[in-house]
């Protein structure tokens, strides 16, 4: 019988071999490097939000989105409004279970301030196939400064589980080129909604 009160049997307490010490030192040094990278990427990585965060009541945000749609609506697709705001303006995207409203029609090379928020639970904004990811949190308005760099049609996918309809939570951004045209169907064509 063995208990914690007795010394363990065996030879595990022999001094560590030199190679073991070397590997331990390398691993420890690497831990410190990775630790230092966290603040480093915060300043140098370019992945931080490009805008200003402010608080917003979900009901107020919904009202602003409705105003925005009413002002610049140019069409409709599967019941979702297509909105073409003037270049350089403040634009709005509302996440809710389980849709992204409206469909934005933007111009390539023009900077907009994208106000994005949720009116119910957390959602995740992913622009596909571009690597853009953003947490969309109710009660906060993120004024992100965005400049579309590529013309085409892009899907918005929700990447934060938000209930039974999470996988159906799709949206769309249309980017026109300098001539106001959309280049032929992209890799993300298809007839998903909206
Ligand atoms: Cu919204 Cu998942």
Q: What is the Å distance from ligand 1's center to 46 Cα?
A: 25
Alpha carbons 73 and 87: distance in angstroms, whole number:
14
Is residue 126 a contact partner of residue 157, using CB atoms and an 8 Å limit?
yes
Alpha carbons 118 and 42: distance in angstroms, whole number:
25
Pull the structure tokens for residue 111: 């900077």
Alpha carbons 99 and 81: distance in angstroms, whole number:
12
- In ligand 1, which atom is closest to the CA atom of 95? 1
Q: Which residues line ligand 1 (CB under 6 A)?
A: 98, 123, 158, 160-162, 166, 169
Q: What is the Å distance from ligand 1's center to 141 Cα?
A: 17
Q: What is the pLDDT of residue 118?
A: 94
CA atoms within 13 A on the CB side of 169: 26
Q: What is the pLDDT of residue 43?
A: 85
Alpha carbons 19 and 22: distance in angstroms, whole number:
5
Q: What is the Å distance from ligand 1's center to 121 Cα?
A: 8
Q: What is the Å distance from ligand 1's center to 23 Cα?
A: 44
Nearest CA to ligand 1 atom 1: 123
Q: Tell me the mean pLDDT per 10 residues along the chain, length 194.
A: 74 81 97 93 76 86 93 89 91 93 92 92 89 88 88 92 93 86 57 46
- In ligand 1, which atom is closest to the CA atom of 123? 1
For residue 144, cis peptide bond before it (omega within 30 degrees of 0): no
């Amino acid at each position: 019988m063995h208990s914690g009160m007795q010394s363990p049997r065996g030879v595990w307490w022999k001094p560590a071999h030199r190679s073991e010490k070397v590997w331990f030192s390398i691993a420890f040094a690497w831990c410190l490097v990775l630790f230092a990278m966290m603040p480093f990427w915060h300043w140098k990585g370019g992945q931080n939000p490009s805008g200003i965060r402010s608080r917003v009541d979900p009901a107020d945000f919904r009202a602003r989105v409705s105003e925005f749609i009413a002002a610049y609506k140019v069409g409709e697709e599967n019941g979702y409004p297509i909105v073409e705001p003037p270049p350089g303006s403040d634009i709005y995207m509302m996440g809710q279970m389980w849709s992204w409203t409206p469909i934005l029609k933007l111009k390539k090379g023009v900077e907009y301030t994208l106000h994005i928020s949720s009116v119910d639970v957390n959602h995740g904004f992913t622009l596909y196939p571009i690597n853009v990811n953003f947490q969309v949190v109710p009660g906060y308005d993120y004024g992100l400064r965005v400049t579309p760099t590529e013309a085409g049609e892009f899907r918005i996918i929700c990447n934060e589980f938000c209930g039974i309809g999470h996988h159906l939570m799709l949206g769309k951004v249309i980017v026109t080129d300098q001539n106001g045209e959309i280049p032929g169907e992209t890799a993300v064509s298809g007839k998903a909604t909206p």
